[in-house]
Amino acid sequence: MEKTVISTDRLTIRRFAPSDGPDLYVYLSDPRTYAFELGEPIDEQTASRLAHERVEGTDFWAMELRVSGRLIGNLYFAQIEPTPWRAWELGFIVHPAHQCQRLATEAATALLRHAFAAMGMHRVEAHWSP
């Protein structure tokens, strides 16, 4: 599995760690997180399970605030079919307390730069739902 760590002025974008369960719980248990996202608040056990699943997978990246070292969100970044098109889908969730600070834009920009330069990405798809 890729061990890439991407740094920006305010964020560290990295793969998930098993220890991310408690921070994942903080924002995925908050009902405000689901204002524009499918799903519903989760419990601590589910957050721990999700953290472990994300360690094993390649589609989720952790968004960590550099000043505190706390996980404040995640990016979903997965290659879509047909693979020869070298296209990926991008999505993100940010803890409601950290929204409207352009952190998702900062994280997505950094991840996309990495993907174009090092992962062979040719195009990206992102969808917005009001």
pLDDT for residue 3 = 80
Give the pair of three-digit tokens for residue 120: 């062979």
Superfamily holding 6-125: Gcn5-related N-acetyltransferase (GNAT) (3.40.630.30)
The pLDDT tens digits of the residues spanning 72-121 come to 999 998 877 777 777 778 889 999 999 999 999 999 999 889 888 877 76
**DSSP-derived 3-state class of residue 65:** strand
- pTM for the model stands at 0.85
Confidence tier at 1 by pLDDT (50, 70, 90): very low
pLDDT for residue 80 = 77
Farthest-apart Cα atoms in the chain, separation? 40
- Of 63 and 1, the structure prediction assigns the larger pLDDT to 63
- Of 82 and 39, the structure prediction assigns the larger pLDDT to 39
Specify the range with the lowest mean pLDDT, choosing from 23-32, 50-59, 78-87: 78-87
Report the chain's mean pLDDT, rounded to a whole number.
89
CB–CB of 25/44 below 8 Å?
yes
pLDDT above 60 (res 53): yes
Q: What is the C-alpha separation between 22 and 28, in angstroms, rounded?
A: 10
pLDDT for residue 50 = 96
